[in-house]
Amino acid sequence: MGEREQGTPWRRQAGNAWVELQGLIDGLLAPMERALVEQVREVGARAVLDVGCGTGGTTVALAREVGDDGAALGVDVSEPMIAAARERAARERSRARFVVADAQRHDFAAAERGAAGDAAAERGAAGAGGDFDAVVSRFGVMFFDDPHAAFANLRRAGREGAALRCVVWRTAEENPFMTTAERAVRHLLPQLPERPPEGPGQFAFGDPDRVRAHLAGTGWEQVELRRLDLTCAMPAAELTRYLTHLGPVGLALAEVDDERLRARVAETARAAFAPYERGDEVRFTAACWMLAADAR
């Protein structure tokens, strides 16, 4: 995630909200995690870099997949989320490692050499000297302020033949669930920002031609965008907490002191999700791309 445009909210309120709701988010985005683990298994990667790792769920799952002889490193700009990721790894006795950094600009090779005291780094398993053989991301790469520079930097982190595999959202029109709350309450919260049409942001990689242009000349070749339609679910009892803490509505509500307005926003947004409720679950289809490329 690029710091200039997106780093500040992720470092503060947005990052704290993801930490607070990490269990809910892990369950909601489990299909994307499984898809990335399957990709790592398919390419036979042993040293994996997880970009925009958040609270570390995918990184820990990747560490389990590569086993004791492999390694997984998660990177994110959010200090609260990386702190939570490290706590998760310790709790689960995972060998996953984490670093607070902007993946667009971070010198992974130099940083890993500096961590040579770590046993995994000494063996080169954690990516020292551009030795990652897979670079993955679950919804992390859409936030770069300079995607071309970011993918070139990620290419430098990988070895020859490394695989790039990223799950990204398709367009907002294909993902109405993700904009339901803000559409429902915009009349109550006129300060809600408009979604930037070309990013950086959640739907910045919706246009496959733009994505290919971002990667052109970065050292990643054979670029493919494979349609990925995944069924996601959460307990209906968690819906209000989800929509009042996350996304543009959650960010806006953090600045609202009027309790009556907060309650009205929550009630109005909650009602708008009725088409997605199935008994005690909320279900929707996530329209994504699996961005796949290989290092030159």
Domains of the chain (ranges, CATH numbers): 3-172+197-233+286-295 (3.40.50.150)
What is the model's pTM?
0.90
pLDDT, position 116: 41
**Residue environment code for 114-137, b if the CB has 16+ CB neighbours within 10 A, otherwise e:** ebeeeebbeeebbbbebbbbbbbb
Closest CA to 189 of 274, 267, 262: 262
Rounded average pLDDT over 226-242: 97
pLDDT, position 112: 58
User: Could you tell me which residue, 131 or 60, shows the higher pLDDT?
Assistant: 60
Alpha-carbon distance of 156 to 172, in angstroms, equals 31
Per-residue pLDDT tens over the stretch 153-190: 999 999 999 999 999 999 999 999 999 999 999 999 99
In degrees rounded to 5, what are phi and psi of residue 5?
Answer: -95, -35
The answer to whether 286 touches 31, Cβ cutoff 8 Å, is yes
pLDDT, position 8: 53
Average pLDDT, the chain: 90
